[in-house]
Structure 1
Amino acid sequence: MGSKLHKWLALFVGVQVLLWMGTGAIMSFLKIEQVRSEHVISRETETLDPEFPAQRWLVDRQGIVAITTKSVAGRPLVQIERNDGSKTLHEPETGTRVSPLPSSDAQAIALYAWTGPETSIAGAKLIESPVGTEFRGPFPAWQVTFSDPDGTRLYIDASSGAILGARSDTWRFFDFVWGLHIMDWTQRDRINSWWLLLFGIGGTVIALSGFVLLANRFPKLRRRKVKRAPASKSP
């Protein structure tokens, strides 16, 4: 009975164990730099010395936690961050607000960040809701798509111009494999689901029961050898 239960449990859990091994091997094979598009996208931001003090045009100072002058696609802008988490970009000389950024600025930021082979932009659209598992905010954000073979897409904060995420066909494949590996087929971020716990416990039970069954076979093997031994002849 114990041996039969062990076999059926091994068959049930074995499929997922095979997926664990296979998906683990695939994720180890893929270069994480390529998954993150680090080989074609630079996320470095340049902070500039404030040549134009914001105090000259800044009227509403309530809740301000930081004022920085930074380069946005090679263009100096002043970023004002408030304690509610909001960020706005302004022209350094006049204080004119330029955020939320238009499509042209988002595309300029994307091209400025591109470090791979020469390519062009296939499209840009403003999004205000999650895009599957590849981007969940903050919003609003620009989705800028390149025409490269890997289908690279950048998600750019419409308020601050920051690059929030870089996705590609390689990333989507890795994300799918990761979902199979952790048994989270929808959200891809739950590593403590009941499914994973159940199969993990099942795998442990199989391993322990296998050792017990193997240990129980040792005495039987010894007894068989004794029974099969030829009887010694008397002189």
Structure 2
Amino acid sequence: MEIFKLIGILIIVVGFMLKFDTIAVVLVAALATALVSGISIVEFLSLLGDAFVSNRLVTLFLLTLPMIGLTERFGLRQQAVKLIEKMKGLTPGRLLSLYMVIRELAGFFSIRVQGHTQFIRPLVEPMTQAAAETKYGSMDEVDIERIKARSAATENYGNFFAQNTFIAASGVLLITGTLESLGYKVSAVSIALSSIPVALIMLILVTSSNIIFDKKLEKKYGEKANLSSKKERND
């Protein structure tokens, strides 16, 4: 029956629920699906090898991990924190809003910022957390995790909604080629210009969200931070 060919999905769901090794679960699911579909083990291994070779560029990000480890080992994270601690009045929301502007400008000029592993993890997130701790003191684990999530989300928003503002971006060329193949006369310039309002709207939404986030932190930690500051001045 055709429904048995969906056994791979069941294996993946169960494997993830039981928190088994991700790669092992996916491989077992693929093998089970292949056998149920009448594909031999030799054919399955051939397909698996072809897929790996065709998508080998996806694994290149692993080469950046040793670099990130070395930069953190020799103090990049600590220096970023020290820099933020010297800036008075800087809040997590303001810092992330500033990064959103930088990220969208980088997309507009096609400047490679390199995303989460190379930029957010070693620089932006520690700087944002330092800004929060400098202004509010110690924070609970829930808000620290929210800062981490918001830092990663800002990268996603800036990258996704501003990447097509560059005229020669791969997304712009793909859209142009697809529409032209369907008989629509468009240019890369018109696609890029149409993407700019979307990027600006997203910038406004992210900035507004960050302002609300700052107000929540101020409401939760502001009074405690003010009392601590007054106590230090009196001492």
Class of the TM-score when normalised by the shorter of the 2 chains: under 0.3
More helix by proportion, 1 or 2?
2
Length-normalised TM-score, structure 2: 0.23
Please say which structure displays the higher CA radius of gyration: 1
More strand by proportion, 1 or 2?
1
Length-normalised TM-score, structure 1: 0.23
